Amino acid sequence: MFLLLLWLAQLGNDTVDFNSIKEKVLYFKILPVFTILILLIGFGMTSNSASAQSNSTSAKSISNYNVAGAPTIGDYLYFAAYDEGKEEGVYVPVKNLLFKAIIGHDKSGKANSMDISLKPNLHDTYRNIGFPSPSHDVAVVYPIFTQAAYANNGFYYYYSNKCDSKCLTVNIPQILLSKYTSSGFGATVLGLLNYSFITDIDIDKNPTILKSFKKVILLHNEYVTKNEFDAINAHPNVIYLYPNALYAQVNVNYDQNTITLVKGHGYPSQNITNGFNWKFDNSNFESDAQCDGWSLTKIPGGKMLSCYPDFRMLYDQSLLSAIKK
């Protein structure tokens, strides 16, 4: 299976060698220079169940989102995506943005940050697509294990033959630095709209926590434990907002604060795709980042979105309304 793969690293980290990656790759161009789009989110989260060191969180808002963003070209924010050598640009219409976006630039003029926040004149809109205060009936599951998997010297270094199996055990991040691969824009938008957050860790440690919520929204929760997989599949109302969720199985060592890949994504055998042999795997939709013509399809226990909506979340009021309803 070809994965949509966007390598996103913190500023100052090593650059990824895209030529060595054997997966389908989506990355971005900023201005005339071909560079990796770094999506880095600052989560202003407060914990209601554990300390920050356990990564157990319940976010009432996420104030801003820092990314190396695309420049404004005409009436669009344009992100030039490359899929197997073919440019497939993602266009975000500026006039339809539901959030205030401020793009920062470095000394050379390259876009290097993008802050989004609520627009004061859209209070009525936000009431229609979000909540006036944190909603405790709905839980968004932040993919902390997936963030870990995509880290430097992590799983994708193994997949690209840059590292041996030692890279299949990685540290669980102590800070939620969301990237495109961990649903950066989507998580930010839902936080601004007062959705409550839990993480993979909350579910793995206490699978019954999902019974406290009428609706569960998964992001790009690609790497999950068996406890988490079973708990999510047992819930009657799950929104699979990002394709490729529940794709590979990991184990957690909380004493060492690490996760280890067990099965999936071509491991331990190349013929293994979904590590749970999950019949509703929809990873084939992951490469659609523009999300035109999106749909929510019913499956037992919930609904699935037919594209990767990270950019769409910035401007599509009908999508956000459908998620709420």
Q: What integer pLDDT is reported at residue 105 of this predicted model?
A: 75
Q: What integer pLDDT is reported at residue 87 of this predicted model?
A: 56
Range in 65-69, 191-195, 213-217, 284-288 the model is least confident about: 65-69
Question: What type of residue is 213?
Answer: F
What's the token pair of residue 222? 């690609």
Which pTM does this prediction carry?
A: 0.78
Averaged pLDDT score across all residues of the chain: 77
Separation between Cα atoms, residue 161 and residue 298, nearest integer Å: 38
What DSSP state is assigned to residue 30? Answer: E
3-state secondary structure (DSSP) of residue 218: strand
Torsion of CA 246, 115, 137, 241, to 10 degrees: -30
Residue with tokens 């226990």: 301
Between 269 and 5, whose confidence is greater?
269
Residue with tokens 């068996």: 226
**Mean pLDDT of all residues in 176-197:** 89
Positive or negative torsion for Cα 239, 242, 243, 244: negative
Q: What are the pLDDT digits (tens) for 286-303?
A: 989 899 999 999 999 999
Q: What are the pLDDT digits (tens) for 306-320?
A: 999 999 999 999 999
What are the residues facing 40 on neighbouring strands?
Answer: 66
pLDDT at 17 over 50: no
Question: What type of residue is 298?
Answer: K
What DSSP state is assigned to residue 228? Answer: H
Beta strand pairing status for 215-218 and 169-171? unpaired
Q: What integer pLDDT is reported at residue 76 of this predicted model?
A: 77
Range in 6-20, 77-91, 108-122 the model is least confident about: 6-20
Nearest alpha carbon to residue 310 among 283, 280, 290: 290
Listed by start position, the domains of the chain span 46-62+121-324
pLDDT at 70 over 80: no
Q: What integer pLDDT is reported at residue 241 of this predicted model?
A: 98
**Mean pLDDT of all residues in 231-238:** 98
Provide the pLDDT confidence category of residue 95 given band limits of 50, 70 and 90: confident
Residue 309: cis peptide before it, omega within 30 degrees of 0: no
Separation between Cα atoms, residue 286 and residue 304, nearest integer Å: 12
pLDDT at 81 over 60: no
Separation between Cα atoms, residue 235 and residue 242, nearest integer Å: 17
pLDDT at 156 over 60: yes
pLDDT at 223 over 90: yes
Separation between Cα atoms, residue 276 and residue 6, nearest integer Å: 23
